[in-house]
Structures are given as C-alpha cells and as structure tokens.
Amino acid sequence: MQTKRESEAASEPGQKTAHIPASIDETLDLLAGADYVADRALATVLFLALRLGRPLFLEGEAGVGKTEIAKVLAKSLGRQLIRLQCYEGLDVAAAVYEWNYAAQMMAIRLAEASGETDRERLEHDIFSQRYLIERPLLQALEPSPSGAPILLIDELDRTDEAFEAFLLEILSDYQVTIPELGTIHADKPPIVIITSNRTREIHDALKRRCLYHWVGYPDLQRELAIVAARAPNAPKRLTQELVAFVQKLRGQDLFKSPGVAETLDWASALVELDAVALDPALVSDTLGVLLKYQDDIAKIEGAKAKQLVDEVQSELRSHAVAAGA
C-alpha cells in the first residue's frame, strides 16, 4: 500500500493542539522544539504559508529535511498528519476515494437472497458513506477534532501531469465531487506541504497556488546544530570533524552528495564504533554510510579521504588556536 494515514500526532492521548505561530521567531522555536533546525528563510516561508493558508511547495536535494518538516509540524502543532506518497501511476482511486466493490457485491447478494426488490433503495444504500474507502486527499478535507490536519503530498515529481492537474483542482477549492454522493468540501482547509526532488519540473499553475522554497544543504553551523539535536551521543570533537568532512565532501565532484540524513547515519555509525575522532582508515571503511554509488566511493576512499581528513583536522586546530589566542 503506497498511501497511508499517519495519525501519531493528534491521536496521542493528552496531546495538546498548539496555535499557529505568530512570528518568524516563534516558527523557528516551534520547529526547534521538535529538534528541527531550520534557517530563517525556511521559517519565513513556513510562517507565511501558515498565516496565509497557502500550500508550501518544498523542492530540494535528497535527505535535506523536506518530508521531516511536515512530520515535525504535525507533532508540534498537535495536528493529524495525513500523507500521500506519490508514485508513477497514482490515480484517484489510490489518492482520493474508491468504492468498496467487494462489500457492495456482498450487500447486493444479501439483498437478493432476502427478496429485496427495491432497486433504487439498494443503489442508494450501496453508494453511501459506508461503502466508501477514503484515501488521503479525501481524509484531509474532513473535519478533525484537533484542527485542520497537515496534508503531506510527498515526492510529487514522481506522479504524472494528469494527476497534477487533478491536484490543482483540489487545492483551488478544497473540495471533491463524488458523482454518487455529492460534493465534499473542507470547512477548514488542511495545511498542505508538497515536496519534490525535481526529477521533473512541476507545472507553473500548481506552483502558483503555493509558496515555494528550495531546501539546500545546511551550512556548517546549521549542520552542527542538527547533529547536536539529532545525534546528541556523538562526542564534540567527532561531531565537529564529521560535519566538516561531509561539508567538504559536498564540494567534491560526486554523482550523489550526502544529505543530512546521511550525516546523521554516519554520526550514529561512528558512535557505534566508539570513535572519538576521524582517521583516514575509519573514513574509508565507513564511506558506504555516506555515499551510495561505487564510483563515488572509489573516488574518495584512500588518498582523497586522507587528504580531506588532514584538511579538516588542521582547519579545526587552527580555529582552536585562534579562539584560544
């Protein structure tokens, strides 16, 4: 099943619903409260999307925190998270609704067996809410006790343009028409986050409805803060070295640079190996946590890894000397 409803946030007993932040600083604090370290540009666009009630369209490299922001938002606002994972061939039946044909057939058989002859009533019965299977986009239009849910439409670039056009319709008026049932309209539109890895361009018409933000790799300071928040067990020196190493790696000519997700995986792996600092052999042996293409690994392991570790360590030493002076 490619679509799923994630209700961990609001359904937790005792979970409080927080208010939409009133400023950019409050937005930063809200995210930081759930260990998400955003830069001011992202916090600004998120704040505006929340205040103006516009969908937020996030594009960027893999593993830089696009999906995570919707999860964090649901958790910290105490809202339900409804996730639509996009894929090639995604259609209305998987994204919006479908009729439960098996149950409808069963109802028809039972009606026939009991001598039911009123066809109109039977038709009315089997095309009622009871036989409707609601998929994420329809779920997101329904009222929720914890307030408008967060609707995450993840990796939109994997779907085709026909689905995009359909989505445009839903995002225009937050309603869906089911011919047999009528129109379902959201009283409170969901908070919509759309992500894309830009494997293809998303149509302008859809982008126009959204606020747009490109999520890039974090700079050194922000990545240090992310590792401190998400991998707090890593010793300080190791954290500084590994983050500086990853930052340098992103400057190399690689097929696929490591994202934040890989940095965090590497931090956990190195802690698991009881490392307190980097050394060239350790880096070469664990490169598979950071790089997922053999050509990239071959390029870095050995001499290049040693050169980068030396650079990182001498830069950190000179910073320490400068700070102490």
Ligand X SMILES: Nc1ncnc2c1ncn2[C@@H]1O[C@H](COP(=O)(O)OP(=O)(O)OP(=O)(O)O)[C@@H](O)[C@H]1O
| Shortest reach from residue 8's CB to ligand X, in Å | 15
Catalog residues that contact ligand X under the rule CB under 6 A: 35-38, 60, 62-68, 195, 197, 226, 230, 260-261, 264
65 binds, among ligand X, Mg ion, none (CB under 5 to 8 A by kind): ligand X
The helix/strand/coil state of 152 is: strand
Judged by beta carbon, residue 31 or residue 184, the one nearer ligand X is 31
28 binds, among ligand X, Mg ion, none (CB under 5 to 8 A by kind): none
Judged by beta carbon, residue 10 or residue 194, the one nearer Mg ion is 194
Told to check if 85 binds Mg ion by CB under 5 A, we report no
| Shortest reach from residue 63's CB to ligand X, in Å | 4
Judged by beta carbon, residue 86 or residue 170, the one nearer ligand X is 86
Which of 59, 62, 58 minimizes the C-alpha distance to 292? 62
Distance (Å, rounded) from C-alpha 94 to C-alpha 100? 12
Place of tokens 């929720």: 144
Site for Mg ion in 36-75 (CB under 5 A): 67
Q: Characterize 93-128 residue by residue with b for buried, 16 or more Cβ atoms within 10 angstroms of its Cβ, and e for exposed.
A: ebbbbbbeeeebeebeeebeeeeeeeeeebeebbbe
258 binds, among ligand X, Mg ion, none (CB under 5 to 8 A by kind): none
Are residues 240 and 319 in contact, defined by beta-carbon separation less than 8 angstroms? no
Judged by beta carbon, residue 36 or residue 266, the one nearer ligand X is 36
Distance (Å, rounded) from C-alpha 154 to C-alpha 81? 12
Judged by beta carbon, residue 76 or residue 284, the one nearer ligand X is 76
Burial of 324 (0-12, 13-18, 19+ CB in 10 A): exposed
Q: Taking CB positions, which residue lies at the least distance from Mg ion?
A: 67
Residues of the shown chain interacting with Mg ion in the complex, contacts defined by CB under 5 A:
67
